[in-house]
Structure 1
């Protein structure tokens, strides 16, 4: 199946009861500027395009939020525990984007969407959440063209230095996405 626009991505997520339940549980935390991102969204798109009948397992459900008033990792662990109490069979991961820039030695993020924009790959730089009426909202700071065309390439930030190029390249090797989704193509990063 082809996916051509953001409305089609939102539709396949809305029709997925498991994804909607996870979104509703994450929304119940009432976190500021929250999103579920990365593989949660990308894998659904790639599974759909590949025509997979069964969901590809993902290592974690990445819940992100932005709160610059409390950046202790212990708060994130407490939120993960709360989610596990509500849905124990889900591999929850909660990260405050107000502190995550330090992982890759980047400038401070200004929001969760800014954090998503600074993920290593454009096809992973995606997030979804529910609004007040439980409508699915999609954030795609680099657009959806790469993910829907099955192209993996670095976000602009991850082509700026040799160190960031290495992070991108190491992730590509470690993730080995082409062994799961054989139609994808992988672009190398280029640093100046």
Structure 2
């Protein structure tokens, strides 16, 4: 089982699995050209690609979008973020996928209105990834200048490879976790979804 491999081998297995999703690798390569501070490709496109590879589905099966986080607290205006989003639209033109770019330095400005709970300001993209509703989601990958993959996985990779969805009750409300888990289980019935504490 991949989750029982030494960590360096798990990282190799992660890269091998993600590399089977051509859209994902293209998003990584194109995002690297944008020069965004502290960026990661993150969330569903990563762990769902692994789930697809582990369960012998097409690598991009069920992936709704590709999330790019970056962190720029020098300008918290919507106009600054929108300029990055528009630049991204040009860079990602022609890809058969929706790519969402968000400045995680701005999340606290809109989170409570959308999800009903306040979000303290993040200090980094990693802090934003730490607050996903499930620990399984807490994963980020980016391409460094030398072509090396930087992987951020604060809860490790074992649950990702073992198809375990584990709640992360630090910010998102229970209803968000349960709605996501239900949607994922409908597409990947092999998942083990753990109850909210």
Taking structure 2 as the reference length, the TM-score comes to 0.83
TM-superposed deviation, 1:187: 1.2
Q: Return the match for 1:106 from 119, 144, 153.
A: 119
Q: 1:170 to 1:17 in 2, by over 3 A?
A: closer
Moved more, 37-46 or 16-25: 16-25
- Structure 2 residues without counterparts, runs of 5 or longer: 4-9, 112-116
Output the CA distance in 2 between the equivalents of 1:75 and 1:83: 13
CA RMSD between the two structures: 2.0
Q: Return the match for 2:157 from 144, 153, 158.
A: 144
Report the equivalent of 1:8: 13
Taking structure 1 as the reference length, the TM-score comes to 0.85
- Structure 1 residues without counterparts, runs of 5 or longer: none
**For residues 2-151 of structure 1, what are the structure 2 equivalents within 5 Å?**
2-4=1-3, 5-53=10-58, 55-88=60-93, 89=95, 90-102=97-109, 103=111, 104-151=117-164
Moved more, 125-134 or 69-78: 69-78
TM-superposed deviation, 1:97: 1.1
Report the equivalent of 1:168: 177
**1:80, 1:92 within 8 Å by CA — same for their partners in 2?**
no
